[in-house]
Amino acid sequence: MSFARKKTNGNKGIMSRMLRFTALLLVMCVLVSLASPATASAYRPPRTTLRIGLNWGNTAVPSANFINEVGSGYEFGFYDASLNFTRVATTTETRISVMIDHNMRWNAGASFSGQFESFGTGQPPSGAPIVGFIHWQINSGRSTLAQAQADIRGIPGGFIRFEANSGGGNFRPLYGNFTNDSAANAARRSSAHTRNAGTGRTITVTRLGTNEMIFEFDNTGNTARIFGIRPMGSGRLSTHFRGERYYGGFRFERRVNNALTVVNIINVEDYIRGVVPYEMSSSWALEALKAQAICARTYAIRTLNKHNSHGIDLCAEMCCQVYRGRRAATARTNQAVDETRAMYVLHNGVLAETLYASSHGGGSENNENIWQGTPRPYLRGVVDNYEDRVAHRIANHNWTFTISQAAVTQRVRNAGHPNASTIVSMHVSQYSPTGNVVSVVMRDSNGRSYTFSRRAGLQAAFGAIRSQRFNIGSVQWQQGGQILANAPAQNVNTTQFHLVGGNTSGEAVSASVTGTLVAIDGTNTNRNVTASGASRVTQGSPTGPANGNFTLQGRGWGHSLGMSQWGALAQAEMGRTAEQIIRHYYTGVQVVRATG
């Protein structure tokens, strides 16, 4: 019994030590978890290859020229629905023209050093290279490229058309390009050869600016396979197109108006390299550029398929994000992209819509006060005094907009009030808590009132104004009733400061508080906290025209949602990190690094 009792006590001691060790391990794991940045387990993007529309919709083009400046030619093939590329042929030509299969004439005087433009049948114009749409077909096609190449060997003007189908595809041997049947018949080499004019889906490739045929592609038999080209060679290859240089490949479709939709197929990281220097000055502080890179990357992946009806994810303009390839990229902007590689902004595990604008003029806004819709918890208005530090460097930061009585009256009528009489007064009927205009009321000479709200309504009433932060007349918005941290004054909110009371715990504090409080900010700096005594102004008073005009005085430029680019610069120059900048402008978000 004695031996058994000792053994039991020993087991208890061992178990106690094991429990203490396990608890210690758990604590250490938690501490490591808290200290480590968020990782790929938090988020995995659906795909990282993008379709960026360079020419699409009403900007689609009849032809496009490409120059592989450092490589050895191009590979021709198709992209499938998953954006995987399959090569079917190659060329050693480094300068090529891609065009619709039509009667085409080279116009050397067109933009970007010339382009092929279509014309009708009949006598072709003289004095410039002509590419015709009529060809001679040697046979019905081959299953391999080598077989088709053997068929055209030794035949002047011979080339291959790849015709995509549900199988491996058909390689059709052809020769010649003629604008009319008379010219074609004169060049026919054998009665066994048959006329071939392609289809409305055929795309032609020639040596740049000439009628020397290189290749054709047709996907009538399988529209899911879309013609593409990629530069060949070693190292980091880029292609010169319409004055810019692009990484990645290019995809072409004849979607609208008998013209080519030109799409850059590119990895998201290379895409961001072509966005950052066009959305933010490359000379700016690195942490601001990094914040821009993270926001641009997040926006791109969140808005995949934005223009899917046109066969693209995003366009290359301000409608989405300005993208111009690699020409303006610098070592600094590339560093910002590389150091934030695969980093995204999430809210509750889902990509945030990381909208951004040039400057807010003093405060961002809730999304529902700009574009009517469901409130997004991360797009909340925040007072932004950071911009004040750089306001003197912002062109037209303070702006004035004037509109005549006659013009605003007509705009009111055009906005669904055809019987409106002359507008005689207007005022801001609602300011948001961060000082942006939500609604304006206008009154006509018959005493009728018209309310215009949010971005769409205000643009209908006034036209293109720079922001929603403005005053009408002499009454200006005042927030009032704030808790401010001094030097410089800044609103205290729970995402930036902890207010420490006598019991050293975080406390909610009202504007009427008296005595001394201390705010400890993210840099562990103590700041005195005071209460602002100004009374809050939430609306203006009716203001009539002066000399027949109404005048708006405002600040900022853009839609006031999400990050202020100038505010990001100011914060970066203060030593704040990209993540701190992002968390200031997007409420309750996490910045994570993903893989895949």
At residue 29, does pLDDT exceed 90? no
Q: H helices within 245-381, ranges in order?
A: 268-273, 276-279, 286-302, 331-339
Among 12-16, 171-175, 573-577, 590-594, whose mean pLDDT is lowest?
12-16
The CB density around residue 64, as the number of other CB atoms within 10 Å, is 21
Element (H, E) at 253: strand 249-253
Lowest mean pLDDT among 183-192, 332-341, 512-521, 581-590: 512-521
22 pLDDT above the threshold of 60:
no
Higher pLDDT, 473 or 334: 334
For residues 495 and 404, what is the distance between their CA atoms, to the nearest angstrom?
A: 44
Report DSSP state, residue 271: H
By the 8 A CB rule, do 407 and 552 touch? no
Q: For the residues 10-22, what does the mean pLDDT come to?
A: 46
* pLDDT of 323 higher than 90: yes
- Those residues with Cβ within 8 angstroms of residue 546's Cβ, 6 or more apart along the chain or in another chain: none
In contact, 141 and 163? CB cutoff 8 Å:
yes
Q: What average pLDDT does this structure show over 147-161?
A: 97
The CA dihedral of 201, 207, 211, 215, to the nearest 10 degrees, is -40
408 CB-near residues (< 8 Å, 6+ apart): 423, 426, 442, 461, 462, 550
Confidence of residue 385 (pLDDT cuts 50, 70, 90): very high
Task: Classify residue 377 by its DSSP letter.
Answer: T
Separation CA 282–CA 292 (nearest Å): 11
pLDDT tens profile 183-232:
999 999 999 999 999 999 999 999 999 999 999 999 999 999 999 999 99
What integer pLDDT is reported at residue 148 of this predicted model?
97
Of the pLDDT bands very low, low, confident and very high (cuts 50, 70, 90), residue 490 is very low
pLDDT of 141 above 60 = yes
Asked whether residue 515 carries a pLDDT value surpassing 80, the answer given is no
Domain ranges of the chain: 61-254, 269-391+562-593, 398-477+537-555, 483-531
Q: What is the pLDDT of residue 122?
A: 62
Cis bond leading into 231, ω under 30°? no
What's the pLDDT at 256? 82
Rounded to whole angstroms, the Cα distance separating 468 from 453 reads: 10
Helix, strand, coil percentages, rounded to 5, for the chain: 25, 30, 45
Report pLDDT for 28: 43
pLDDT tens readout for residues 435-446? 999 999 999 999
Question: Distance (Å, rounded) from C-alpha 235 to C-alpha 231?
Answer: 11
Q: What is the pLDDT of residue 27?
A: 39
CA-to-CA separations, 545 to 214, 437, 439, in angstroms, rounded: 67, 19, 19
**CA atoms of 540 and 478, how far apart (whole Å):** 11
Query: Whole-number mean pLDDT of the chain?
Result: 86
C-alpha atoms less than 13 angstroms from C-alpha of 6 in its C-beta half-sphere: 3
Among the ranges given (419-428, 484-493, 571-580), the one the predictor scored with the smallest mean pLDDT: 484-493
Taking 80 as the threshold, does the pLDDT of residue 450 lie above it?
Answer: yes
3-state secondary structure 443-498: EECCCCEEEEEHHHHHHHHHCCCCCCCEEECCCCCECCCCEEECCCCEECCCCCCE
Say yes or no to pLDDT of 46 above 80.
yes
Residue range 67-118, pLDDT digits in tens: 998 889 999 999 999 999 999 999 999 999 999 999 999 999 888 889 999 9
* Residue 392 CB partners (closer than 8 Å, separation 6+): none
Contact of 72 with 95, CB cutoff 8 Å:
no
Which tens digit of pLDDT belongs to each residue from 226-255?
Answer: 999 999 998 899 999 999 999 999 999 999
What angle, rounded to 10 degrees, do the helices at 286-302 and 565-573 form? 140
Find, among 459, 478, 450, 458, the residue nearest to 542 by Cα.
450
**pLDDT band at residue 536, thresholds of 50, 70 and 90?**
low
Q: d(Cα 133, Cα 118) in Å, to the nearest integer? A: 10
| Poorest-pLDDT segment among 269-283, 400-414, 532-546 | 532-546
pLDDT score for 121: 65
Backbone angles phi, psi at 22, to 5 degrees: -65, -45
| Best CA proximity match to 250, nearest among 92, 83, 397 | 83
Sheet holding 226-232, edge to edge: 85-91, 73-79, 226-232, 249-253, 261-267, 49-55, 314-315
Confidence of residue 282 (pLDDT cuts 50, 70, 90): very high
Q: pLDDT per residue over 329-340, tens digit each?
A: 999 999 999 999
pLDDT for res 596: 58
Task: Give 412's pLDDT tier (boundaries 50, 70, 90).
Answer: very high
Neighbour-count burial for 215-227, b at 16+ CB within 10 Å, e otherwise: bbbbbeebeebbb
Which is more confidently placed, 386 or 502? 386
Cα dihedral sign, 489-492-498-500: positive
